[in-house]
């Protein structure tokens, strides 16, 4: 099975930087997804990390350490529209298995 751990809630100020952590324990790990989900809406893809290291995509960056079973999502220059849940999802590559964490609800305040 898989065990995925991320903080339940976080609060940050507009314009600031926030880091959302995710730790996971899984067998047959292939890579890790991050999805964003606004309240009442569908999840949308943010990033997919396969190799160790940081991948930057605009204001969002995602980091992966395969040996530590650890990833984080870094959001810079926070905007009010970034208030959403952020879902960590390790992919095992086994039978197309994608398992989602329970998500971190981020609230951006003025």
Partner 1 sequence: EAQVTQNPRYLITVTGKKLTVTCSQNMNHEYMSWYRQDPGLGLRQIYYSMNVEVTDKGDVPEGYKVSRKEKRNFPLILESPSPNQTSLYFCASSIGQGGDEQYFGPGTRLTVT
Q: Which is nearer to partner 1, 37 or 61 (CB)?
A: 37
Q: Which is nearer to partner 1, 32 or 108 (CB)?
A: 32
Tokens, residue 108? 């951006």
Beta strands in the chain (DSSP E): 3-5, 9-13, 18-25, 31-37, 44-49, 53-57, 60-65, 70-75, 84-91, 104-109
What order do you get walking across the sheet with 44-49 strand by strand? 9-13, 104-109, 84-91, 31-37, 44-49
Q: Is 110 in the site for partner 1 (CB under 8 A)?
A: no
Q: Is 98 in the site for partner 1 (CB under 8 A)?
A: yes
Q: How far is the CB of 13 from partner 1 (least distance, A)?
A: 27
Q: Which is nearer to partner 1, 69 or 101 (CB)?
A: 101
- The residues that touch partner 1, with contacts defined as CB under 8 A, are 30-31, 33, 40-45, 48, 87, 91, 93, 95-103
């Amino acid at each position: 099975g898989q065990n995925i751990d991320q903080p339940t809630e976080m609060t940050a100020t507009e314009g600031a930087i926030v880091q959302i952590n995710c730790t996971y324990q899984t067998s047959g790990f292939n890579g890790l997804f991050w999805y964003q989900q606004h309240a009442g809406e569908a999840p949308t893809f943010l990033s997919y990390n396969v190799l160790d290291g940081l991948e930057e995509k605009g204001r969002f960056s995602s980091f992966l350490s395969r040996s530590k079973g650890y990833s984080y999502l870094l959001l810079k220059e926070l905007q009010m529209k970034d208030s959403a849940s952020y879902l960590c999802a390790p992919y095992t590559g086994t039978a197309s298995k994608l398992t989602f964490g329970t998500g971190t609800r981020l609230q951006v305040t003025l």
